[in-house]
Amino acid sequence: MSNSFIKDPGALLDYSWDWSAWLAEVADTISSATVTVPVGLTAVGAPVVADAAVTQRVSGGVVDSAYTLVCQITTAGGLIDERSIYLTVSNR
C-alpha cells in the first residue's frame, strides 16, 4: 500500500493507515489513535479506528504544497507507534 497521494485542494477524502501486519506480529490491537494534520489541511471529524485500520477525513490544501499526516496509535498492550502519509496538493 502506497503512503504517498495526490489530493485536489477542493477534495474531501479519507486517508487510512493499515496496521494489520504489524499488529499481527506483536499480537496486539489498537486501543486509541490520534492523527496530526498540518496547518493548511483540515481534519474533518475524529480519526476512526476499525479493526486494524485508522482513517482520517481531510479537506483543504494549497496547490503545489506537500503535507505529512502522522497517525500515532497506542495498543491494548501499551505499545506506541506512528506512521506517516504524504500528500501533494495539485489541481486534478
Task: Please tell me the predicted confidence (pLDDT) of residue 41.
Answer: 98
- What confidence tier does 75 reach under pLDDT thresholds 50, 70, 90? very high
Distance CA 8, CA 10 (A): 5
Distance CA 33, CA 30 (A): 7
Query: Does the structure show a pLDDT above 80 at 1?
Result: no
Say which amino acid occupies 43: A
- Domain spanning 4-89: which CATH class is it, in words? mainly beta
Burial state string for 52-87 with b = 16 or more CB within 10 A and e = fewer than 16: bbbbbbbebbeeeeebebebbbebeeeeeeeeebeb
pLDDT tens digits along 21-69: 999 999 999 999 999 999 999 999 999 999 999 999 999 999 999 999 9
Task: Please tell me the predicted confidence (pLDDT) of residue 2.
Answer: 79
What ranges do the domains of the chain cover? 4-89
